[in-house]
Amino acid sequence: MELSCKSEYALLALLELSTHYNTGEPLQIRQIAAKQNIPDRYLEQLLATLRRAGLVRSQRGAKGGYLLTQEPWKITLFDVVSCIEGIDAQSEQESAPTTTESLVVRGMWREVRQAAEAVLQKYTLQDLAEKRDAKHQMDIMYYI
């Protein structure tokens, strides 16, 4: 139930890509890592899995970098964390004597998961960007 570093990094990186989305220019790992102070070699791995999941695409070579494959309002936070956290179809693991009680417990846990996922589904990268901008405005107001 804790927000992992992985997911936070991924969200921050995609948020950065969101704000540069309209330029059409790719953003480089180094730039993202510097702005959000994320270890760059680690971020590289995360972006690789995001690429494999189809959320971003990469351009190799000089002047390369990463771009979102979709508009920021089409990518939900659920898309991000579920791919980075590796949902794995959650597997319904074992064979062994599953008691009635454990079925009941797992059933209610599904409700918990669905409640959490509902929240993640309703927010998009766009929403995050807007919240950040709103927060920036607030900070400026208070500064004056």
Q: Nearer Cβ to DNA, position 95 or 142?
A: 95
Q: Nearer Cβ to DNA, position 54 or 86?
A: 86
Tokens 């964390």 sit at which residue?
Answer: 81
Binding residue (CB under 7 A) for DNA from 25, 34, 35, 48: 48
Whether the CA torsion 17, 22, 26, 28 is positive or negative: it is negative
Smallest Cα–Cα separation from 42: which of 51, 52, 34, 33?
Answer: 33
Round to the nearest angstrom and report the end-to-end CA distance of the chain: 38
Q: Which region, judged by CB under 7 A, interacts with DNA, from 24-32, 67-75, 109-117, 125-133?
A: 24-32
The alpha-carbon radius of gyration of the chain (Å, integer) is 18
- 54 near DNA, judged by CB under 7 A: no
Q: Which residues bind DNA (CB under 7 A)?
A: 4-6, 9, 28-30, 38-42, 44-45, 47-48, 51, 58-66, 85-86
